[in-house]
Structure 1
Amino acid sequence: MAPLIAVAACLAASACSMNGKTSGETVGEQKKATSVTMQEAAERQDGMLDATMKAIAPALHWAHGATTTGNCDVTRRRVVMTIVSEERRGNLLGMVQRSWEKRGYTIKSVNNSHKFPAIFAVTSDGFGISVSVGGEGQFTFSADSPCVKKSEVAAPSASPNGPDYNHPIPRPNVNDPFWSSNEPIPTGSPRRS
């Protein structure tokens, strides 16, 4: 696993088909992309985001970002409310990248901007997932669907780990003894994964 160099902001977009087999992420195995609805795609994306958040320790506080839809695609977002210091951003990005690689996602690109790092990945069935750091170091996770069958899309069912804000979502406002620390992680300390 390649070491992570700090990465800036965009959304990853992807291609088609939906037959993922990763536990907790599948919706309608063996369905053809033309029969997968936007709602089913959104549920798949929620599973991807749930798995990503569960892989992060200590846990982050997050809120649902806006769900957006196009003619045949949907994007789900989660916005991190935990203050992640500059000294800990690389650790968090590395943890996320390793968890995606373990799930079989392909890392498509890494933006190694010091100020606005980002990582973009894609699943074997064409869903994109990304993490980007924006203003005041706020992390945003996004999951993008391939082109699927148009349908209504319900709000996410997962409960945020903290307050669920109306939009606009404020900047990070939750201190965490680990993630908010300005101390660099000591060399030789056990790697969190």
Structure 2
Amino acid sequence: MADILVLYYSQNGAVREMAHLIARGIEMVEGATARLRTVPKVSTVCESVEPDVPMSGAPYVELKDLEECAGMALGSPTRFGNMAASLKYFLDGTTELWLKGALIGKPAAVFTSTASMHGGQETTLVSMMMPLLHHGMLIVGLPYSEPELASTTSGGTPYGASHTSGAMGEHPITEAERKLCIALGKRLAQTALKLNTGASA
């Protein structure tokens, strides 16, 4: 089985819902399974974190989750066109894996949610790619063979799945956004399996 890590930070629930849709796409691929993980909220002033065990939802990620995975989907809400501090704080602590080359050659995908249509979706997605590229991961995006990518009037980019939530989170995930999340999960899992078996991608 190819164990695909779906690692996300979600403040109001939209990114968490996207993570579950991506996990659904992963598990539609025979031979692949999704491992959902999150990160604790971090204070950027004193770096204090929440309790060691989350009150509900996915467990907090550990370095071994990254080391054991065959691929990873990384998700965050946008913060001024960048990933949230909590996710960045975790990624900044992955030097041990970088020194070992533990993630080299593994496929990775990214996803995000923003309040507004032009609220920094694409820059947030690219900001999440940067540390993954430094780890030697292979970035998987969404090709235009996915019809929703060309027809969506909400979220959805070739860089990764995205959602436009509204300022108060009033917009539910649209059908196009939903399909693109699932498609991204499927593509990530298929790529991981091909890389694991040595088949041509």
Give yes or no for TM over 0.5. no
TM-score, normalised by the number of residues in structure 1: 0.28
More helix by share: 2
